Structure formats: C-alpha cells, structure tokens
A and B are shown apart, each in its own frame.
Chain A
C-alpha cells in the first residue's frame, strides 16, 4: 500500500499518476485526532495564560471601545477564500468518497476564484497592510521557548503578550501558504488538461513524469488542506477564540479582549479615524 499510485506510460516508463486516495481518510483522521488531543490538553494540562506585563493605564485609556482588526477588504478576501476553499475540497474529495456529481467545472471555477483572490491578497497585504505582522519574528520565538520551558516546569521568565497574531497563527498561515500555493500553481497547469475558456487543451505541456508529480503534489496539498481546514474551523469555534472569529465578521474586537491577549507595543493601534496601521491582513 503506497502513498502514490503508479502506472506504466505508453513509453514503458513507470510514472506516478496521483496520490493514493486512502490519504483523504488519513487527513480527516489526522484533523480529528488533533482536535481530540487539543481538547484533552486544554481540559487537563494547560495552565492559565500568564504574560509578562499589562499595558499601562494611559495606553489603555487611549484605546477605543472597539479595536479595529480586519478591514472590510481583508474580511471580504477571507470569506471569498473560505468559500472557494470549501468548494474546492468538497468537489475534489466527495466524488472519491462515493458522492458522485459533475464536479470538474465547479472545481476549476472555485480554483480560479481562489487564485484571483490570493493574487489580490498578496498585492493588498504587500502594499496596503502591515505585511510583516503575519510573519514570525524574534520575539515570537523567544516567547514560544519560554512557554515550552514553563510547560515543562523549568524556570523561565513570563512571555510577552502577543502581537497582532500569536505565533501559532503565523505558523498556520505559513502552512497555508505552502499547501495553498502548491495546490494553486499545480492547479493552474492542470487546467490545460480540461476544457476551460482560459487555455487551449495541451496535455503534452510536460512529460508524463512531470505531470504525474504535479498531480501528486496537487493531491498532497489537497489532503493537507483537509487537515488544515479542520484545525482552522476548530479554533474558529473554540470559546476563547470567538472574539477573534467575530472580528473576521465585524472587523473589530473589544478593548478588553485586546488588552487581555495583545501587547499594545507589539500591535500598535492608532485611535485615529480609519487607522491604517493595526488593520492588518487577514489570516
């Protein structure tokens, strides 16, 4: 039982054709296992969150009652991306699970929507948002190390409060970049194998081996996204994360939640109208 399905090409070459479909179930189980383990960890092992210092009363007093977190454009991107991602996953994997329907057209249309929205997001985040807010920095790594040491019962100082995004959030974003871009880039080439208005069909764009590897990478990214999406939805509905989830709908979070989780020095919120800084990119 291999992870990849192989076939013999007309030229007698042994080529990969796609991933083994049991990996869909592996990804589903992995996502569910993560969920169960995390629930057990939170219930029985996790201690109360402790941070180094609170914001000064002066800073707290300057904050608005609702702290802006996601601009309307960023939120729109997030939900368009979410809708296209769910469509892609369902159209890709439901037929493999026995639910048969005309999936290819819906799949490539959702793929085009995702591709366009991601291209827009890259442009928007690079030039109009705080680009670096989603990337791990030195402080994240230092604080993560402190948290690990404290969890293991070793002496370590208190970690700082988070910047706009906790390290876990940033790492998740990184994983989505790797899997999402793998699926998108391979998917764009794979569109030349089906009938769309965008490309003239050309199955001989690459060799059988290159095509096979492309299908395998697309499949691996796809099943990886199953797990990642399960994890994402799980955190979105966890009670302690609901204010963050709500901010992806309404655009802001309460001053109390902001002060409880975030360090005003690391995520500076300007209280001017339409503050540009602090309204960073979407997850």
Chain B
C-alpha cells in the first residue's frame, strides 16, 4: 500500500457557491482541475501525493447541488447530497428503497455523513497497485500489475477485463442502474443527461477513466423516474468486513411482479468489472417467467457466462451466480451452489 505522506501538494483551492461558478472554474482550469465532492476519494490521492492537481474545486459550498426534490416524474437528488441524507430521506425509503438499502451499506456511518451520492458513483478504482502510484495502464503506463500469475487480484474483475482488471467499487451505482436513473451533467456544451449505465465506461473505451466525466464536466444531479417506484427490490453486498468495506460483489434488482410472474425487471451487479454491469441477458431471460428457484438458477448461470477469473478471484464466479439467483428468487428460495 501507499505510504501516507499526509502533507498534500500545493494547489489553488476554489470554493464556488454556485453551479455556474464551479462550471466556469472547471472550464478555465481544464485538465489541471480536480473536482472534490465529499473528499473521501480525493484526500487519499492528494495525501499520497499521487495526484497533483494545480486547482482543486471544492463543491461543498454549492447548496444547489444538495437535497432531494420531487419532480413531475419521480425525484431528483443533488449530486452533493450525502449518503446519510439519501438513506434517511422518507421519499427514497418509501418509493426507491433499493437506493436507500445500497447507500446504507456504503462504508461506515462517519463516511456516509461526509460522502456524497455523486462522489460514490464517480469514485476511482481501488486497485492497490493503481492507488499506490505504480505506472499501470490506468495510471497511463503500459502494464497491469494485478493481472499476473503472482499479482494480488482477489478483489479484481471477472468480466470485461481489458488490460486493466480493476473494478468499480460503488454500491449505489448498481441500485441506480436498476432504478433506471438518469445522470445530469453540466458540460461546456450545456446540460447532458445520460442513462445510469451509460455514465460508466470500461477500460476498453478509456483505460484511465471510470466514467464519462471529462475536464470541464460536472455531475450535478441524479434523476430517478417513477417507473420503478415501489417495485420489488433486492440489494445484497458481500464484503470481507461487514462493518466497513468495499464490495467484493454487490447486486441490485428492481422487479415488477404479477402474482408470481416477473412482468419487468432491471438487475445490475458491481465489483465484477470496471463498470457496473446491467445484466440485460438475465432480464430478457427471466421476464415473463415464474419467480422460482429454477428461474433464479437460470439467471445465475446466465449472469456469469463469459467470466474469466484471475489467479485469486475464482470465488467471484459462484458468488455472482448465487447473488443473482437470490436477487431473482429471493433468499428463502435460493440454495447455495458452489
């Protein structure tokens, strides 16, 4: 692991109090700017002196970016809304409980008090070779230290690895994909709204980024439509330390049932690849079927098709299979398979 050096490198600190001002600063400083939300990802990078931005734009003073608002078609959550606020919001609890469940399982209460929803979905990879400042692919180099016969890759990707095998560590991201959320960004060309699954990109597209944010871009809000409000939700996160850890894998699903028949479903997993994966093949396969252990079994098998485990993470294949199975058929119906 990196040696914590504690003293951050010098940078210009900007603390705008409006989206417009933040946007102007980001455009002005371009690639030299670093956007800081709750600071939980940023301070690791800065204190380790691995990232050395010239300008840091602290979003904590922008009230417009905070809070949960109801809209004509659902809700809009400001990107700087803390995870604790998301968990405690009555509308989210009542209608979009999946997000509340996911946010409540992020790290520790202290971190949820400081961490924001926008920061949670936009955080960088946690691969320790990358975080230690080694010149890997994701850092702009030409090697993946984790994807070698002796690399420590227990937490890494089993799907869609492309040179880099780091995974996306967000818990809220798969929940937002399952809820069909839209991410709202301010860009130099104006507002841009994308589907939650399109916000994330894998290494095959850009190996140095985990999302589509570019210099000058600012994630301002996340909109959740009412289409899946009150659906049958399932969220499960598996981690090494249940009190405080990143996911080894998590799964989120939103299901519309008619009796025992699955009328509609959205399901996503994270920490299996460098981006949260919406399992469209699984959705298509189980739609119209009875919600049974057999259907869950089928979904689990389908979900892990194409998985290529690394030296130390083969356990993730049966883990993902079982999590998807449980997300479809429920914990009571699912039986563990190795």
Contact = CB atoms under 8 A, between A and B. Distances in A.
Interaction A to B:
yes
Nearest to B133: A8
A193 B135 contact: no
Contacts of A215: 142
B144 A203 contact: yes
Interface in A188-203: 193-195, 201, 203
Interface string B45-68: 000000000000000000000000
Contacts of A100: 201, 205-206
B148 A203 contact: yes
Given A9-B135, A104-B204, A204 B142 contact: no
Contacts of A5: 140
B163 interface: yes
Interface string B204-226: 11100000000000000000000
A194 B135 CA distance: 17
A78 interface: no
Nearest to A7: B135
A5 B140 CA distance: 9
Interface in A164-199: 193-195
Contacts of A212: 142
B134 interface: yes
A105 B161 CA distance: 12
Instruction: Decide if the interface of chain B is mainly helix, strand, loop or mixed.
Output: loop
B135 A8 contact: yes
B283 interface: no
B147 interface: yes
B135 A18 contact: no
Contacts of A201: 147-148
Interface string B133-161: 01100011111110110000000000001
25 contacts: A5-B140, A7-B139, A7-B140, A8-B135, A9-B134, A10-B145, A15-B135, A17-B142, A95-B206, A102-B162, A102-B205, A103-B204, A104-B163, A104-B204, A105-B204, A193-B142, A194-B162, A194-B163, A195-B161, A201-B147, A201-B148, A203-B147, A204-B148, A211-B143, A215-B142
Nearest to B201: A100
A101 interface: yes
Interface string A201-240: 1011000100110010000000000000000000000000
Contacts of B204: 102-105
B145 A18 contact: no
Contacts of B145: 10
Given A17-B140, A102-B204, A195-B162, 14 more contacts: A7-B135, A10-B134, A15-B135, A17-B135, A100-B206, A101-B205, A103-B204, A104-B204, A193-B142, A193-B143, A195-B308, A201-B147, A204-B148, A208-B143
A209 B201 CA distance: 30
A207 to B, nearest CB: 11
B142 A211 contact: yes
Contacts of B161: 195
Interface string A85-118: 0000000000100001111110000000000000
B2 to A, nearest CB: 12
A18 B135 CA distance: 11
A13 B144 CA distance: 17
Closest 3 pairs (CB-CB, A-B): A7-B135, A102-B204, A17-B141
Contact of A203 (B143, B162, B201, B206): B143
Contacts of B140: 5, 7, 17
A8 B306 CA distance: 35
A128 B206 CA distance: 45
Contacts of A105: 204
In this complex, which of B134, B143, B163 has the most chain A Cβ atoms within 10 angstroms of its Cβ? B143
A18 B163 contact: no
Contacts of B144: 203
B280 to A, nearest CB: 17
Nearest to A200: B149
A96 to B, nearest CB: 11
Nearest to A98: B214
Contacts of A104: 162-163, 204
Contacts of A10: 134, 145
Nearest to A9: B135
Contacts of A195: 161-162, 308
A214 to B, nearest CB: 9
A195 B203 CA distance: 13
Nearest to B150: A204
B239 to A, nearest CB: 27
A17 B208 CA distance: 15
Nearest to A8: B135
A193 B205 contact: no
Interface string A16-31: 0110000000000000
A15 to B, nearest CB: 8
Contacts of A103: 204
A95 B147 CA distance: 23
Nearest to A101: B205
Interface string B184-210: 000000000000000001001110000
B198 to A, nearest CB: 13
